[in-house]
Amino acid sequence: MGSGTVFEDENGASPLADTVVASKRISIFGLGYVGAVSLACLARDGHRVIGVDIDPVKLALIRDRKSPILEEGIQELMRDVVNSGRVTVTADAAAAMRETELSFVCVGTPSAANGSQDLTAILRLAEQIGAALALKDGFHTIVIRSTVQPGTVEDKIEPILERASGKKAGVDFGVCFQPEFLREGSSIRDYDHPPYTIVGANCEASVDQVRALFRHLDTRFLVTSIRVAETLKMACNAFHALKITFANEIGRVSQSMGIDAHEVMRLVCADKRLNISPAYLKPGFAFGGSCLPKDLRALTNIAKQNDIELPMLSSLLISNRVHIDHAVDRILKLGRPKVGMLGLSFKTGTDDLRESPLVLVAKRLLGEGCELRIFDPEVQLSRLLGANRSYIDANIPHLGSLLCGSIEEMINPSDVILVGLQQSALNDALQVHVQPGQFVLDLVNLPNRDLLRCRYEGICW
């Protein structure tokens, strides 16, 4: 096949094509792990696919009905789809664009020396795709599947496409970001059984095109903003790395005590309510209370005594402290405001103040000279006993003079209201009593915050 020719091997219907209703013409840029698997699977599903790569070896391999990557089932599939005539490959990006209505971008985005993402290949390719769009009639959808840092699609790729094509994104062509969740080694299975198909887009026509391609998969099809989809992909990979590191650190410390690490982690994973679940996975405020900090300290201390390093587990209390400092610093940026705190205990519905992050916030604000009022319906000084009482006596000995008898008493004189407690009656009271000149810093992801008549900020959203 000449480099500018496409679909020249078309040799009529193949049994593989029978399953698909609407066959599309698709170009795939980058024939590495992601691109080669997508090319083979899309062609298997009946679409006509042009693969584009700058590596002549990969192109020659595919023309020779061989896969450029090693994956379970890919050699047979590549042979079948190339034989079907629905796959061609080329180094000519412009020709591939001309002959297709939809393009997947799967080029590499490796780490640069300083750890940033090297976007050279994808941005150079955007120039080429833009130039080809300039010469093309009709709407074209470009789906970015390479993992890119948040903002890349809208702030870098789209402007290049618009400038190089002289056309308008969302009008003459559509751009979306569809993160790829395949794992090397089981790519074809993962392609067919993704956790979900998710598209970040601001162009309905492009979403419809992608939806049509993946409609047959037995999974949810979700649409979000491009930036959320870009961040999601990075968050997923960070979460996977976190899970692996967690299991390995629990493994090392268990081993150092002669305890069966596999049995420990098997039982950790058997709890689907608190452990393997969405529990504790919402952005919010720091953890605290009488168990988490204490037990983390004990575990990392065991490791220290056994000469075991646990960098991740040891960093958790540090990160938690940074989160508390972040709340205090945000308030102090306003000068030395009068602060009203809604909530003091370590979580809603308890009066346990031990290692409550809100107590640490209060202590620091007092130390910085802020005037402070606190309202927590569960906390009454006269009822605090034992370790709970000792903790508060050690940290805020004059707590009694700061506690208010009602939420209004706390809100009215305050410049800033720090919301660390969630209850529907208290949410309603905030809406009624907070005034336009005040500032709400939310630690609990308040529902109905749009109804607040004042300046609002979330602690990490």
Ligand X SMILES: NC(=O)c1ccc[n+]([C@@H]2O[C@H](COP(=O)([O-])OP(=O)(O)OC[C@H]3O[C@@H](n4cnc5c(N)ncnc54)[C@H](O)[C@@H]3O)[C@@H](O)[C@H]2O)c1
Q: Which residues are catalytic?
A: 291
Binding range to ligand X, per CB under 6 A, among 50-58, 287-295, 319-327, 338-346: 50-58
Alpha helices per DSSP H over 186-310: 187-192, 204-214, 226-256, 261-270, 292-305
> Quick one: 55 or 76, whose CB is closer to ligand X?
55
**Choices 117-125, 203-211, 269-277, 348-356; region in contact with ligand X by CB under 6 A:** 117-125
Q: Which is nearer to ligand X, 147 or 422 (CB)?
A: 147
> CB under 6 A: which stretch of 14-22, 48-56, 264-272, 324-332 binds ligand X?
48-56
Asked if 260 is part of the footprint of ligand X (rule: CB under 6 A), the reply reads no
H or E element, residue 368: none
Nearest to 226 by CA among 199, 205, 206: 199
Q: Does 347 bind ligand X (CB under 6 A)?
A: no
Amino acid in position 85: G
Rule CB under 6 A: choose which of 6, 17, 34, 94 binds ligand X. Answer: 34
Q: Residue 47, exposed/middle/buried by CB under 10 A (0-12, 13-18, 19+)?
A: buried
Main-chain dihedrals φ then ψ at residue 221, nearest 5 degrees: -110, 115
Contact string 161-200 vs ligand X (x = CB under 6 A): -------------------x-x-x----------------
Q: Which residue number places its CB atom closest to ligand X?
A: 32
Q: What is the DSSP letter of 114?
A: T
Is residue 86 part of the contact set for ligand X (CB under 6 A)?
Answer: no
Give the phi and the psi of residue 26 in degrees, each rounded to 5: -125, 135
How far is residue 161 CA from its own chain's centroid?
26
147, 345, 388, 427: which one binds ligand X (CB under 6 A) = 147
Query: Is residue 121 a contact residue for ligand X (CB under 6 A)?
Result: yes
Least distance in angstroms from the C-beta of 440 to ligand X? 39
The correct pick among 30, 174, 293, 420 for binding ligand X (CB under 6 A) is 30
Under the binding rule (CB under 6 A), the answer on residue 439 touching ligand X is: no
Per DSSP, 202 falls in state: S
Nearest CA-CA partner of 100 in 157, 161, 146, 48: 48
Contact at 8 Å (CB) between 86 and 46?
yes
Q: Which two tokens stand for residue 280?
A: 């504790």
What is the C-alpha to C-alpha distance for residues 394 and 373, in angstroms, rounded to an integer?
19
Provide the minimum distance between the beta carbon of 443 and ligand X in the complex, in angstroms, as a whole number.
34
The least CB distance from residue 240 to ligand X, in Å, is 11
Residue 53 touching ligand X (CB under 6 A): yes
State yes or no: residue 106 binds ligand X (CB under 6 A). yes
Q: Closest Cα partner for 132 from 159, 108, 152, 103? A: 103
The site for ligand X (CB under 6 A) is made up of 29-35, 52-55, 58, 106-109, 121, 124-125, 146-147, 180, 182, 184
